[in-house]
Chain A
Amino acid sequence: MSKIDSYRRNFLSGLAGTAAAVTIAPGVFLREVQAKPADEPISDKVRWGMLIDINKLSDGGDACIEACKKEHGWGDEKHSNDQQDAQWIRKVKVTEKMTGKTMSLPVMCQHCETAPCVDVCPTGASMKRADGIVQVNKHICIGCRYCMMACPYKARSFVHETLVDQRPGTPRGKGTVESCNMCVNRVDAGKNPACVDAAPEAMLFGDLNDENSQISKVLKQYGGTQIRADLELNTGVRYWGI
């Protein structure tokens, strides 16, 4: 695709996003996750996804990031430097060259349908669950960091130091790679991801496969932008306002 085409597309999708943000009332959808029975395996009938309206994130996503840190216990690495620190979700500032408009958006693992990190992993540790959540099975991760290289969203971090006092729902340890796991522990219990609960006015979580879910309904009506849509990864995280 030529540069002009992609610029045009971005511009158009940007427009659509703005229009949608103005039209639809924000944050009306709080909890649509239904708990599955705890002893029932997840199924591929569900595909979890997320929609983020960056115009409604007044803090650019700070609250989400804080909630994520609290839930999973990252961000408090004592001996790592800036480059080594874990980043499950980060604020990315983008400037549109043409207009100079700047935007700040929270970027985490985009939970791609065809995830490059899963393709490259030599051990099968980088995995996609049946319900579309991409995560690292740290039991078999050897810490080679191929997946970090492969991820176009810079979503993965490597743990550089010995950790203690992890959160019970989020085991993390030195020598393995980690990233946003869409709060699997919460989702399996029928809760929203922590970031969605921290910014209910701007974020929506739900089943992309169920055409009656709220997220599917609004996406059908207004669409949702993927970051780096040109890679055709069919991401589970969509944005409004970019």
Chain B
Amino acid sequence: MLRIQSTFTRFLKQSVPLAVLLSFLSVTLLSLSACDSEPPALMKASKQFDSDEIRDKHVAHMRKNHMDELMHKRDETVYNGIRTQKYSLNACINCHVPEQHNGEVLRHTNPEHFCSTCHGYVAAKLDCFECHVDHPVKQPTTSISNSIQNYHNSKAHTEIKSYIQANVSDEIATLSLAKNVTFDTNEVSDVKTDQSNKASSKKGSDQ
């Protein structure tokens, strides 16, 4: 009798936590299936892929892996100076965030901002924009290129040119005055946000 009782209590002792666990799981699963797991609607990117297939791949990959890709790319850039468009934060921003939204700059503090919509939804803190700019900015053409241009037109430069041709070895003269002298007339980044650039982004998967 004693023995039976002890087996029974042991069974009870074991099964109670099991039952608790089971009921907890079922409640969680039920509630999960009940909640709306659709991610919030995101702002449309300014550039579109050529085919839905490429786009769907991009979306699926980035939804899951964007943080890892960005983390990897940031180290490649800071340590190795690799500044390709692929997985560059600036490239993401240039395509996913409009220059203006309702006549204003769209900042990450606005829940409509592409990144903030989801990050707000899942309550994950967004650190990138403590340092990085959160909307597309065209690097302004500074007076730098003008200053070179002015310099080239200046009397001083003509004098130097003749000085070099007279005094310095041909090698240096050609090096410095011909092939390496270029002007930065186009300082603006090559990422265009309008549809006209679509043709050039045909490869698609690079964005």
- Which one of B83, B134, B151 contacts A188 once the chains associate, using CB atoms below 8 Å? B83
Are A173 and B144 also in contact (CB < 8 A) when A28-B164, A38-B83, A189-B83 are? Answer: no
Give chain A interface residues in 20-72, CB to chain B under 8 Å: 25-32, 36, 38-42, 63, 67, 70-71
Q: Is A200 close to B, CB under 8 A? A: yes
Are A41 and B82 also in contact (CB < 8 A) when A172-B131, A214-B175 are? Answer: yes
Of the four ranges (under 10, 10 to 19, 20 to 34, 35 or more), the interface on chain A belongs to 35 or more
- Which one of A28, A67, A137, A171 contacts B176 once the chains associate, using CB atoms below 8 Å? A28
Q: How many residues of B contact A (CB 8 A)?
A: 48
- Residue among B82, B93, B159 with the most chain A CB within 10 A? B82
> Could you tell me the distance between the alpha carbons of A129 and B144 in the complex, rounded to whole angstroms?
26
Are A214 and B74 also in contact (CB < 8 A) when A25-B160, A28-B177, A198-B147 are? Answer: no
B residues in contact with A26, CB < 8 Å: 156, 160
- Residue among B132, B133, B147, B151 with the most chain A CB within 10 A? B133
B residues in contact with A135, CB < 8 Å: 78
Are A67 and B79 also in contact (CB < 8 A) when A26-B160, A168-B137 are? Answer: no
Contact B82 A71 (CB under 8 A): no
- Residue among B76, B144, B156, B164 with the most chain A CB within 10 A? B144
Interface residue ranges, A against B (CB under 8 Å): 25-32, 36, 38-42, 63, 67, 70-71, 127, 129-131, 135, 137-139, 162-169, 171-176, 184-185, 187-189, 191, 194, 197-201, 214, 217
A-B contact pairs, 20 of them (CB 8 A): A27-B156, A28-B161, A29-B176, A30-B148, A38-B84, A40-B82, A130-B80, A163-B131, A165-B137, A166-B131, A167-B137, A171-B131, A175-B130, A176-B131, A197-B148, A200-B151, A201-B151, A214-B172, A214-B176, A217-B172
Closest 5 A/B residue pairs (Cβ): A173-B131, A41-B80, A171-B131, A42-B81, A173-B130
